[in-house]
Amino acid sequence: MAASMCDVFSFCVGVAGRARVAVEVRFVSSAKGKGLFATQLIQKGETIFVERPLVAAQFLWNALYRYRACDHCLRALEKAEENAQRLTGKPGQVLPHPELCTVRKDLHQSCPHCQVMYCSTECRVAAAEQYHQVLCPGPSQDDPLHPLNKLQEAWRSVHYPPETASIMLMARMVATVKQAKDKDRWIRLFSQFCNKTANEEEEIVHKLLGDKFKGQLELLRRLFTEALYEEALSQWFTPDGFRSLFALVGTNGQGIGTSSLSQWVHACDALELKPQDREQLDAFIDQLYKDIEAATGEFLNCEGSGLFVLQSCCNHSCVPNAETSFPENNFLLHVTALEDIKPGEEICISYLDCCQRERSRHSRHKILRENYLFVCSCPKCLAEADEPNVTSEEEEDEEEEEGEPEDAELGDEMTDV
């Protein structure tokens, strides 16, 4: 029951409102499936489209550790200064230029029944109309025996940080269908995402849950069924169907990161300052991030994941011509051209970060096989086909044995939100 591209574009344009329909989805090959192609010239730096996810959810450990985000759009709810105070562990931390913080606490609203927080009336209403009526625990929000709380606790017990998925993304898929007047439309939209073989699905579940994944998957399926069973989606609640749903979220879920502090830093970067003032501000921000790294490590953002129909059609390349980002500090995904893209050319993003893309072909293939279950055949990989089949770590070990200095490993870049 495949959705037409009219369904897809109607959702992306109608909800996000700013998709430039300069793309089309085409079948590429049995190995790659479908891909996204330009239908007209797209210039470097141009936003190709802006997409809202069908569903999104904050990671459960991220929420438990007080990364406060809108329960619907994942917009960071802390003021930039509050964010800095929590991440540095310094309650007295003060930020210059507080007027650059974009968080509007006067607009925040909570669900009147369970008290979960939203950044605005619009998000509270949107959540209620799409899925929250089904998922709202009411006064049982903190009751450990509530079926949804039992499900979330079971998930946290088997999927630890760094998180890559959330059982609540699946819960919101089911709740969306349960609440929908046109259930078939939503089922068609969810069916757009790629399917895997049974063996590939097991690999994905193993990656998410670890060595004891079969028993853990069955426990999650039982709790998921007790909390959310829906006759129209009965196949999703069978052992095979639940494994497929799990694999769908595991391979298609796009990570989302938001940060009021990052937004403040970007606004500071845009200030026109005297050279001495610029130097002082940059030094302050550099020290702030050092303090955060010492206190918090790599976990800087409100984090979650979402299902994006158009973005999921973008295949991987180690030399991408487009990139994804979340510049609006919420779940709206922007896909931007990294170079001019001609009509008929495939739009490719990278599933690897910038440091991973600089590693050897063998290392890149290892990461992609383990996480996405495919072998890359992009131009860069084809050009490096004659390289020895050793990982970057093995290459570094060989250099150390030969007495050559090991290159210092580059630190991860800040997430561009």
Return the structure tokens found at 414: 């800040």
pLDDT for res 170: 97
Evaluate whether 370 touches 382 at the Cβ level (below 8 Å): no
Residue with tokens 């990989």: 381
Q: Give the span between the Cα atoms of 19 and 308, in whole angstroms.
A: 13
Look at residue 207 in the predicted model and tell me its pLDDT: 77
Least confident of 8-12, 221-225, 319-323, 331-335: 8-12
Tokens 């070990």 label which residue?
Answer: 397
- pLDDT score for 331: 98
Task: Give the tens place of pLDDT for each residue, 352-396.
Answer: 888 999 999 999 999 888 877 788 999 999 999 887 776 655 555
409 or 177, which is more confident: 177
Cα separation of 191 and 312, whole Å? 12
Best CA proximity match to 311, nearest among 161, 194, 149? 194
Q: Is the model's pLDDT at 8 over the cut of 70? A: no
Structure token pair of residue 190: 């969810």
Range with lowest mean pLDDT among 58-67, 324-333, 403-412: 403-412
Q: What pLDDT is recorded for position 324?
A: 95
pLDDT at 401: 43
pLDDT digits (tens, 9 = 90+) for 232-281: 999 999 999 999 998 899 889 999 999 999 999 999 999 999 999 999 99
417 has pLDDT over 60: no
Average pLDDT over residues 21-48: 90
| pLDDT at 409 (0 to 100) | 33
Q: What is the 3-class SS of the chain, one letter each residue? A: CCCCHHHHHHHHHHHHCCCCCCEEEEEEECCCEEEEEECCCECCCCEEEEECCCEEEECHHHHHCCCCECCCCCCECCCHHHHHHHHHCCCCCCCCCHHHCCCCHHHCEECCCCCCEECCHHHHHHHHHHHHHHHCCHHHCCCCCCHHHHHHHHHHCCCCCCCCCCHHHHHHHHHHHHHCCCHHHHHHHHCCCCCCCHHHHHHHHHHHHCCCHHHHHHHHHHHHHHHHCCHHHHHHHCHHHHHHHHHHHHHHCEEEEECHHHHHHHHHHCCCCCHHHHHHHHHHHHHHHHHHHHHHCCCCCEEEEEECHHHHCCEECCCCCEEEECCCCCCCEEEEECCCECCCCECEECCCCHHHHCCCHHHHHHHHHHHHCCCCCCHHHHHCCCCCCCCHHHHHHHHHHCCCCCCCCCCCCCCCC
Residue 295 near residue 88, CB atoms below 8 Å: yes
Quote the pLDDT of residue 371: 78
pLDDT at 3: 47
Percentage of the chain modeled with pLDDT above 90: 71
What is the per-residue pLDDT across 14-27, written as a single tens digit (0 to 9) for each?
Answer: 344 454 568 999 99
Note the pLDDT of residue 396: 52
Average pLDDT of the chain is: 88
> Residues with Cβ < 8 Å from 7, sequence gap 6 or more?
185, 188, 189
| Predicted confidence band of residue 32 (pLDDT cuts 50, 70, 90) | confident
Using 50, 70 and 90 to split pLDDT, how confident is the model at 11? very low
Contact assessment for residue 312 and residue 172, using Cβ atoms and an 8 Å cutoff: no
Both structure tokens of 266: 């970007």
